[in-house]
Amino acid sequence: MEMLGEARLAAPREQVWMALNDPQVLQASIPGCESLQGSGDDAFQASVVSSIGPIKARFAGRLSLSNVQAPRSYTLRAEGAGGAAGFARADIEVSLEAVEPRLTLLRYKVQATVGGKLAQLGSRMVDAAARKSAEDFFARFGAQVAALAGAGPQPAPAAPDLQALAGAPAAIGGATGGTDGQAAPPPAAGARAAAGPVAASPEEVAGVLASEHIQVWIADHIALVTLNRPRSRNAMTLAMWRSMPAIMAALERNREVRAVLLCGAGGDFCAGADISEFAQVRDDTAQAHAYELAVDACCDAIAGLAKPTVAVLRGYCLGGGAHLAMSCDLRFAAADAVFGIPAARLSIIYGVHGTRRLLALVGLAQAKKILFGAQRFDAEEALRIGFVDQVAGAGAPARGSWWSRWRGRAAPRADVMTQARDFARTLADNAPLSIAGAKALLNGMAMGLGALDAGRADALIAAASASEDYREGRAAFAQKRAPRFQGR
């Protein structure tokens, strides 16, 4: 029999990985486990009392680990003999996805077989017992991890260290919350050249380091950029608008990063510009002009990143927040997301760049409806008009837990962050030069502001055709394996 399932654990991936390798945690998680001791070489000896239908037996057995990819995945083989009852064996493939700094998605696949008297019980009874054991195990394991995470030190939110972000990958983990110690791929040289990133000035770096309102966390080649003013629904201050270009420049230069997710802390993406500081920073015409330049510089920096970007939209996404979202390549929304551009309620005109992006996304009539009406619209409407590309729960694969399917309930859908990360992993695996080139061409065509330089487009296409990755892609196809792209 085969079972699939997943569990969301409120702990960093490293902590979950340690728990998965800790004999004490495993013993406390395995139902009926009387003893479990390490026997070297990723193996444990165990004694487990288990009831399968009418048969109750003590199984003496062995747990062994294989395919160990710390801290991401392993296969756990559990095999035990229960004397006259027969034997049971299960191969459990476990993988850990670092969704957020303190949120890990554990996915598992179990293949189980029984023999002897147990096999005579019938597959339905054996399946039910195996499912119950897996359910109990992961419920107990989740509780163990929660207890460990609660007991451990809580990392203070940190402002991004741009020098570390932009520098050697090894330095990133300490500064931004962890790279999980994975090997960094070689530089995406072509991608960097395509974007022509500007170096962050010392003032910019100082400005960002002084702020805790935009956080950056990198894992599995994906940078998660979080707007972090949840009590103000992540409303953007002038300082935040100004600090984003330096962050994007640093991510552009960072070899580790292959894709970027932009999200908001708490339940919202962003309620737009911080109106409460308008009296100080956006009062007269000159200030308003400078303010708009800062907004455009921020959004252009996001749009101009040669690496693919996905906005993860939960709760409110209004005004300047909508501009941030539109500056990303793709927008994944939660079903509860609420959109709107209330400029006509504040008597301001949405900027040229934001208006252009809106027009490119939704077309003339919808852009007028949104701007003139200044009304809010929901995720379903946003998907219908093309403002967002995917809504969690709408059109997403039903990858629910096995017990919900087993009990015939509607399968839960992956949440928006998990969907976005899954997609970002695909982006991170694809050829960086190809994505950077397609992005430059599409954005240039969509913006229509002379942003697409025909000579540059030709140069990008020629560089991709001459790249090592082009040869690698063809070789991988011929050898029927996944390509390993280097970005050059």
Q: Quick one: 168 or 346, whose CB is closer to ligand COA?
A: 346
61 or 342: CB nearest ligand COA: 342
> In whole angstroms, how close is the CB of 469 to ligand COA at the nearest point?
42
For ligand COA, the binding residues in 294-333 under the rule CB under 6 A are 316, 318-320
Query: Which is nearest to 198 in space by CA: 309, 306, 335?
Result: 306
Min separation Cβ 367 and ligand COA, Å = 17
- Kindly tell me which residue out of 25, 235, 265, 330 binds ligand COA, with binding defined by CB under 6 A: 235
Among 178, 272, 351, 393, binds ligand COA (CB under 6 A): 272
Nearest approach in angstroms of CB 266 to ligand COA is 10
Give the binding range for ligand COA (CB under 6 A) out of 89-97, 227-235, 257-265, 422-430. Answer: 227-235
- DSSP element (H, E) containing 312: strand 309-313
Q: Which of 274, 292, 296, 300 binds ligand COA (CB under 6 A)?
A: 274
Nearest CA to 308 out of 418, 434, 161 is that of 434
Q: Measured between alpha carbons, how far is 148 from 125 in angstroms, rounded to an integer? A: 35
- CB of 346 or CB of 394, closer to ligand COA: 346
Q: What is the token pair recorded at 271?
A: 């309620």
273 binds ligand COA (CB under 6 A): yes
Q: Which is nearer to ligand COA, 149 or 313 (CB)?
A: 313
Using CA atoms of 338, 343, 344, 348 in order, give the dihedral in degrees to the nearest 10: 170
Residue 159 or 324 with smaller CB distance to ligand COA? 324
Least spacing, CB of residue 278 vs ligand COA, in Å: 8
CA-to-CA distance for 74 and 91, rounded, in angstroms? 10
Distance of closest approach, residue 265 Cβ to ligand COA, in angstroms: 13
Joined together, the tokens standing for residue 342 give: 């209330």
Residue 424 in tokens: 């970002």
Residue 204 or 274 having the CB closest to ligand COA: 274
Task: Select the span of 17-25, 208-216, 266-274, 458-466 touching ligand COA (CB under 6 A).
Answer: 266-274
Interface stretch with ligand COA, choices 74-82, 163-171, 265-273, 472-480 (CB under 6 A):
265-273
Dump the DSSP string for 60-107. EEEEEEEEEETTTEEEEEEEEE-GGG-EEEEEEEEEEEEEETTEEEEE
Side-chain-side CA neighbours of 242 within 13 Å: the count stands at 16
Q: Which of 28, 209, 275, 360 binds ligand COA (CB under 6 A)?
A: 275
Q: What is the distance between the alpha carbons of residues 148 and 309, in angstroms, rounded to a whole number?
A: 34
Q: Which of 13, 213, 233, 323 binds ligand COA (CB under 6 A)?
A: 233
Tell me the two tokens of residue 436. Answer: 């950077």
Nearer to ligand COA, 213 or 253 (CB): 213
Question: Nearest to residue 175, comparing CAs of 158, 199, 154?
Answer: 158
Angle subtended by helix axes 468-478 and 454-465, to nearest 10: 50
Q: Measured from the CB atom, is 41 or 284 closer to ligand COA?
A: 284
Of 246 and 324, CB closest to ligand COA: 324
Q: How many C-alpha atoms does 477 have within 13 Å on its Cβ side?
A: 6
CA dihedral 360, 363, 369, 372 (to 10 degrees): 50
**Residues 28, 19 contacting (CB under 8 angstroms):** no
- The nearest distance, CB 270 to ligand COA, in angstroms, is 8
Q: How many residues bind ligand COA (CB under 6 A)?
A: 15
Closest to ligand COA by CB, 24 or 276: 276
Contact window for ligand COA (CB under 6 A) among 58-66, 161-169, 230-238, 453-461: 230-238
Listed residue (306, 247, 298) closest to 456, CA to CA: 306
- The widest CA-to-CA distance across the chain, in whole angstroms, is 87
Binding residues among 346-375 for ligand COA as defined by CB under 6 A: 346
Instruction: Give the nearest distance from C-beta 341 to ligand COA in angstroms.
Output: 8
Question: Distance between CA 401 and CA 108 in Å, rounded?
Answer: 10
Which span (83-91, 98-106, 231-239, 399-407) binds ligand COA, by CB under 6 A? 231-239
Q: Which residues bind ligand COA (CB under 6 A)?
A: 232-233, 235, 271-276, 316, 318-320, 342, 346
